[in-house]
Amino acid sequence: MTRDEIRSTLLGCLVAVAPEIDAEEIEDDADLREELDLDSMDVLRWVQGIHKALGVEIPEEDYGQIVSLEDAVSYVAARV
Amino acid sequence: MAEFVMPSLGADMSAGVLAKWRVALGDRVAKGDIIAEVETDKGLIEVEVFEAGVVESFLVQEGEKVPVGTVLAEIQTAPASAPAPVSAPVSAPGSIISAGASDLVLDGPLASPAVRRRAHELDVSLPSVRGTGEHGRITLDDLVGVGQRARSAPGARVRISPYARRVAMERGIDISRLSGSGPGGAIQASDVLSVTAHPASAAVSPAERMQRAIAAAMTRANDEIPHYYVEQSIDMANAIAWLRETNASVSVSERLVSGVLVLRAVALALRKHKSLNATWQGPEPVPSAEIHVGLAVSLRGGGLVAPALRNTDQGSLGELMVRMTDLVGRARAGTLRSSEMTSATITLTSLGERGVESVTPIIFPPQVAIVGCGATVERPWVVEGKVVPRPIMRVTLGADHRVSNGHQGSRFLTALDRLLQEPEKL
Amino acid sequence: MTSYRDAIRTALQTLLREDPRVFFMGEDVGRYGGPYAVSKGLLEEFGEDRVRDTPLCESTFVGAGIGAAIGGMRPIVEVMTVNFSLLALDQVVNNAAVMRHMSGGQFEVPIAVRMATGGGKQIAAQHSHSLENWYAHVPGIKVLAPATVQDAHDMLLAAVEDPDPVFIFEHQMLYGIEGPLDTESTPPSPWKAAIRRAGKDLSLIAYGGSVHKALTAADELEKEGLSAEVVDLRSLRPLDRETIIGSVSRTHRAVVIDEAWKTGSLASEVSAILAEEAFYELDAPVARVCTIEVPIPYAKHLEEAAIPQVDRIVEAARRSVVGG
Amino acid sequence: MTLDISRDHVLDLLRDMIRIRRLEEKSAELYAKQKIRGFLHLYIGEEAVGVGAMHALREDDNIVATYREHGQALVRGIPAGEIMAEMYGKSNGCSGGRGGSMHLFSAERRFYGGHAIVGGGLPIAVGLALADKMQGESRVTACFFGDGATDEGEFHESLNLAALWKLPVLFLCENNEYAMGTALHRHVSDQNIADNPPAYGVPADSVNGMDVVAVERAVHNEAELVRETGKPRFLELKTYRFRAHSMYDAELYRSKEEVEEHKKDDPIESLQRRALSDGLITEADIEQIEEDAAQEIADAVEFAEQGDWEPVEEIRRHTYARDLS
């Protein structure tokens, strides 16, 4: 899978969690929790979405490595 | 062989008594001959036979009462006259629904206004109920087993005109708090419209309408409800450790968040503090036998909803987590059911993740209490005489002083604290 | 300005002149000029064949009218008053109303029957009935109640032109009223109710003679700051549910005025329609103002107390709006 | 006395009487088997009135009859199948299944119905005659009714109005000696029914209703007089019904002997006897008529059995010209 494919999948999962946000406006390096006002529940639903879509399990300890969309894409790319 | 049957002798005749045979076995009979006499309400009627032949056998004795159509005798027909082919008696063309002609097309299940009102009160959708009355009509008993929101205690029924009730529902106004200017104190539309005191403006967007409804509810709650507040700082160390350990051993789909622990703890604590788990019905605060904790969910587009998680104290933590995830998702997607919006018996609002340390929340009418949780923050904490860092969460209870008091509130918070120290039991 | 009775005569003349199938019969409609002077001069203009004084045999001259209609004519039958029409009910209910149905659609009965109705003239119990509801109950016939001079004219034309039996009830107090009469423009459908006066606080629903009392009541309510809408039913079968429900959906309150006795009255039918089809529009129970359930008394003060009057309508309206 | 009519004429009259009787016998059988419901009034015994009258009237004359009208309807030309289907309540019945045995109608044959309200048809007949007169038609309106109807107000009102307005109505009173269960002498003050009409200026006569030839001649004469003068006339046809009033009648009001006595004047048998003795017809002719009748009746039952039930959705049709709901 290319980085772009991973990025669009991750974005898809994110929109599923917070349907009211606009996918285009999300900068790649922004802190998602801050920008999109995500709480721990939202993050968990996002992580569960990624697992269902790509089969990648992200343990709670690694939440720090998926703060921005860019980090998340790299993290997932290394494991898919 | 032809059959001689008990004839129908009148529109409303269903049976007849064979009074007398006018022929004997072996007699030859011609078409139209009188073969028997039948006793009816109007007296004895001579009955003719429609086939020529010889009387073969009598199947019914004199004096016996038999339904119309019963075979009375068998006639050995002479070969010549084959009777015209007549099919079995045709009953009326399908049972015509006995309803008046004008309402032949039944729209929705049959139910009387009283049943419909009861269903509305129990928040039951009629099509989902199997009616046991005539033509599938739904009766009051049919609703007994189905009540989703069992009324814990029969609240005083609100006398309100249908139009006023409709306006109140559209504007999210709780009718149990209104006083009526209509006959016998019944609530009229004017009573409802005067509450929001703003003109029925032109097109109002749903979000705007919701905001206005929240504003109205909050204003009234704040003005009318005498809140008291008590606060407790709770050591979350055990809870967090147990959570990390549990999550490490399960797949991501079964992972829990700390919020579900607090939610379950609040529910369990309420079991012994009924006065906080109640709602106003008309002039009376009515404790609820079931515990449905409303979860405050702020919507990104603005607006706040607190849908209820039914029977929050029941089922495994895993199940509660699934239900919670589903509820939050649907709240965000705006696909909550109306029942979920109105069935909460208390509300929990967690703003910790937004970084604030404590919350002083306003009660959601018609409830009588609300629990607010702040952020879980590392704090110096004295344990067995030594100061150690501990993750501390400040929890505030806001409650209606007309229904409970500070003492009861404090005991609830200490119970909540104790429950959170043994997360594995939640 | 034209009188209600002259408007009917004008319609009769037009019909008799323009359609050879039309003829007019009834008790004292010819030589006497009509019990309410409606047909004065018609016998002289159209002759004995087209304007027929009948013997006093209501069942048979109404039945003969039905037979003639089946036979290809367009009879207009006048039964002096609804009180005497009871003798002809068998022909109405068992022949006129069912002929099309029972014959499987082979025969129709294009007959128009007119009769006076209502009380208020101190002619006592046998001459003061309001029984429109008996006729409006029967599927197969249609029923009209002209409250205005224009309707008195237009409804007779519509009734004769209609292929089904149509019964027109003219309140006896209306024959003398005056009003504009336009015989040129095409009239509105008689099967629709009319908003005689717009209003927003409540709907006064009435027909025939009661419409004028409702309008007077609305004027008085105006002085008290209550805006009453007046709905004239015009057609009693079929009832114009759309207009009735539309009005109450705007005002959310209804008072129905009917000179019949309340039990089984058309007022009850309108109230039932509102309860069934406009329930969530009702801010107060539907009120009915009807004749007290006694035979109509002779003495003036008793008759006036029995029959709905403006004050009773205003009182009911006030109770409906202001509450208990 | 000998019949002064042709062979073909006798066969026509005999055939129609036998057709009626076989139709009525089959109706009784089908009623016992619950294929025909509600009320059923048989014409057995009165065939001579129906056949004689219908043969005497013109194709174009109006007919108004009562609930005992199967005979008149059949001879007037309504197919036996459509009559049977109507009694079944099927949509291919002559009234679309809407009327049943008591309400047979045919616009095409100017058969203005069976009427079940005693006397209810008389004003209709007066109206039809009024319409014909005003439209310059030379038609006669023949109105059948029983002796019971002469007690109704509408009978007296109709005679008076028809006479007053000189309307071409032929009043045909089938006096079968019983108004359901009330014998003639117990319901009329003057048993000679033909006495009443002259009081209203309506000439009246009486004829033996069991003699089809006499009935035909009398009805023909009366009808032509009505046609010529335009004025109403009245004919009493003395007849008798061999069966109960309807299917649910224990006949407590008359004795078996009385019925047997009248059966001696059976209109079919008496015509057969006279025609055979005059050599006008042969036994073979009668067998052929019986055979044809049996086939016609069997086909009629088949036609009714095959008929459809009208769909309930059509229930509002024919209440008004245009469905108003």
**pLDDT tens sequence across C110-147:** 999 999 999 999 999 999 999 999 999 999 999 999 99
Report whether pLDDT(D117) > 60. yes
B351 shares a domain with B247: yes
The answer to whether the CB atoms of C102 and D105 lie below 8 A apart is yes
B158 shares a domain with B266: no
- The answer to whether position C141 is within a domain reads yes
Q: To which H or E segment does residue B65 belong?
A: strand B65-67
pLDDT confidence of residue B153: 34
pTM score? 0.67
In angstroms, the CA B386 to CA D209 distance is: 130
Q: Determine phi and psi for B325, rounding to 5 degrees.
A: -60, -45
- The answer to whether position D154 is within a domain reads yes
Known catalytic membership, residue C229? no
Domain boundary among C179, C210, C229: C179
pLDDT confidence of residue B122: 64
Higher per-residue pLDDT: B129 or D96: D96
Tens digits of residue pLDDT in B125-181? 666 676 776 666 777 777 765 543 333 334 567 889 999 999 888 888 888 888 888
Report in angstroms the alpha-carbon separations of C146 from B85, B405, C33, C235, C249.
59, 71, 21, 8, 25
The count of structural domains within chain C is: 2
- The answer to whether position B102 is within a domain reads no
Tens digits of residue pLDDT in B88-129? 544 444 333 333 333 333 345 666 666 766 676 665 666 667
- The answer to whether position B151 is within a domain reads yes
Cβ contact B229:B360 at 8 Å: yes
The answer to whether the CB atoms of A39 and B353 lie below 8 A apart is yes
The answer to whether the CB atoms of C283 and B163 lie below 8 A apart is yes
Taking each helix axis as running N to C, give the angle between helix D47-56 and helix D212-229, from 0 to 180 degrees, rounded to the nearest 10: 40
With an 8 Å Cβ cutoff, is B315 touching chain C? no
- The answer to whether position D309 is within a domain reads no
B358 shares a domain with B322: yes
The answer to whether the CB atoms of D301 and B84 lie below 8 A apart is yes
- The answer to whether position D314 is within a domain reads no
Q: Integer distance in angstroms from the first to the last C-alpha of chain C?
A: 44
Question: What are the structure tokens assigned to B15, written together?
Answer: 């049976």
With an 8 Å Cβ cutoff, is B43 touching chain D? yes
Whichever domain contains B29, its CATH number is 2.40.50.100
- The answer to whether position D177 is within a domain reads yes
Q: Determine phi and psi for D206, rounding to 5 degrees.
A: -135, 150
Tens digits of residue pLDDT in C248-278? 999 999 999 999 999 999 999 999 999 999 9
The DSSP secondary-structure symbol of D215 reads H
In angstroms, the CA D126 to CA D164 distance is: 11
Whichever domain contains A25, its CATH number is 1.10.1200.10
Domain span at residue C118? Answer: 2-179
Chain D positions in Cβ-Cβ contact with residue B42 (cut-off 8 Å): 248-250, 252
- The answer to whether position B214 is within a domain reads no
pLDDT confidence of residue B83: 46
The count of structural domains within chain B is: 3
Residues 173-212 of chain B with CB under 8 A from chain C are: 181-184, 186, 188-189
- The answer to whether position B105 is within a domain reads no
Chain A positions in Cβ-Cβ contact with residue B262 (cut-off 8 Å): none
Pick among A38, A41, A62 to test the B interface (most B CBs inside 10 A): A41
B273 shares a domain with B393: yes
Residue of B nearest to C319 (CA): B183
The verdict on whether omega for the bond into residue C238 sits within 30 degrees of 0, i.e. cis, is yes
The answer to whether the CB atoms of B186 and C324 lie below 8 A apart is yes
Selecting among C127, C137, C277, C315, the annotated active-site residue is C127
Residue of A nearest to B301 (CA): A20
Residue of B nearest to A55 (CA): B252
Q: How far is C101 from chain B (nearest CA, A)?
A: 15
Cβ burial, residue C237 (10 Å; 0-12/13-18/19+): buried
Q: Determine phi and psi for C236, rounding to 5 degrees.
A: -100, -20
Known catalytic membership, residue C184? no
Strands C287-291 and C254-261: parallel
Tens digits of residue pLDDT in A12-54? 888 888 777 777 778 888 888 888 878 888 888 889 889 888 8
Chain D positions in Cβ-Cβ contact with residue B69 (cut-off 8 Å): 34
Half-sphere exposure of B22 (CA within 13 A, CB side): 14
Higher per-residue pLDDT: C228 or B337: C228
Tell me what the pLDDT averaged over chain B comes to: 80
Report in angstroms the alpha-carbon separations of B283 from B153, B280, B286.
13, 7, 10
Q: To which H or E segment does residue D70 belong?
A: helix D70-76
Tens digits of residue pLDDT in B368-416? 999 999 988 898 988 888 999 999 999 999 999 888 988 889 999 999 9
Output the DSSP codes for B254-301: G---HHHHHHHHHHHHHTT-GGGSEEEETTEEEE-SS--EEE-EE-TT
Instruction: Tell me the residue ranges of DSSP E strands in D147-303.
Output: 169-175, 178-179, 182-183, 204-208, 233-238
In angstroms, the CA C225 to CA C256 distance is: 20
User: CB-based contacts of D276: which residues, under 8 Å, 6+ apart?
Assistant: D282, D283
Taking each helix axis as running N to C, give the angle between helix C4-18 and helix C42-50, from 0 to 180 degrees, rounded to the nearest 10: 50
Selecting among C27, C58, C78, C269, the annotated active-site residue is C58
B344 shares a domain with B254: yes
- The answer to whether position D291 is within a domain reads yes
Q: How far is B300 from chain A (nearest CA, A)?
A: 7
Most confident of A2-11, B73-82, C302-311: C302-311
In angstroms, the CA B105 to CA B20 distance is: 50
The count of structural domains within chain D is: 1
The answer to whether the CB atoms of B325 and A21 lie below 8 A apart is no
pLDDT confidence of residue C125: 94
In angstroms, the CA B62 to CA B75 distance is: 18
Tell me what the pLDDT averaged over chain C comes to: 96
Cβ contact C110:C76 at 8 Å: no
ipTM for this prediction: 0.66
- The answer to whether position C189 is within a domain reads no
Provide, for chain C, the percentages of residues in helix, strand and coil under a 3-state DSSP scheme, each rounded to the nearest 5: 40, 20, 40
The count of structural domains within chain A is: 1
Whichever domain contains D178, its CATH number is 3.40.50.970
Closest CA to B376 of A39, A43, A37: A39
Most confident of B12-21, C114-123, D242-251: C114-123
Cβ contact C129:C120 at 8 Å: no
Cβ contact B240:B258 at 8 Å: yes
Question: What are the structure tokens assigned to D278, written together?
Answer: 């005059």
**CA C42, C44, C50, C55: dihedral to nearest 10 degrees?**
90
Question: What residues in chain C have their Cβ under 8 A from chain B's Cβ atoms?
Answer: 252, 279-284, 323-324
Chain A positions in Cβ-Cβ contact with residue B248 (cut-off 8 Å): 59-60
Pick among B258, B261, B324, B353 to test the A interface (most A CBs inside 10 A): B353
pLDDT confidence of residue B300: 67
B230 shares a domain with B190: no
- The answer to whether position C84 is within a domain reads yes
Domain span at residue B175? Answer: 111-208
Domain span at residue A32? Answer: 3-79
In the predicted model, what is the mean pLDDT of residues C13-40? Answer: 96
- The answer to whether position C20 is within a domain reads yes
- The answer to whether position D311 is within a domain reads no
Q: How far is C134 from chain D (nearest CA, A)?
A: 17
- The answer to whether position C188 is within a domain reads no
Report whether pLDDT(D44) > 90. yes
Half-sphere exposure of A45 (CA within 13 A, CB side): 25
Closest CA to D224 of D56, D2, D45: D56
Pick among C253, C269, C283 to test the B interface (most B CBs inside 10 A): C283
- The answer to whether position B104 is within a domain reads no
Tens digits of residue pLDDT in B249-260? 888 888 898 889
Report in angstroms the alpha-carbon separations of B339 from B175, B278, B309, C83, D106.
16, 17, 11, 58, 63
C205 shares a domain with C307: yes
The answer to whether the CB atoms of B162 and C280 lie below 8 A apart is yes
Number of other CB atoms surrounding residue B268 within 10 Å: 17
B353 shares a domain with B275: yes
In angstroms, the CA B363 to CA B380 distance is: 32
Q: Determine phi and psi for D308, rounding to 5 degrees.
A: -100, 160
Domain span at residue D240? Answer: 7-303
Output the DSSP codes for C216-266: HHHHHHHHTT--EEEEE--EEES--HHHHHHHHHHHS-EEEEEEEESTT-H
Residue with tokens 């997607």: B333
Touch D-B: 3+ C-beta pairs under 8 A: yes
Tens digits of residue pLDDT in D147-177? 999 999 999 999 999 999 999 999 999 999 9
Whichever domain contains B396, its CATH number is 3.30.559.10
Chain C positions in Cβ-Cβ contact with residue D134 (cut-off 8 Å): 23, 49, 68, 73
B379 shares a domain with B304: yes
- The answer to whether position D227 is within a domain reads yes
pLDDT confidence of residue B114: 66
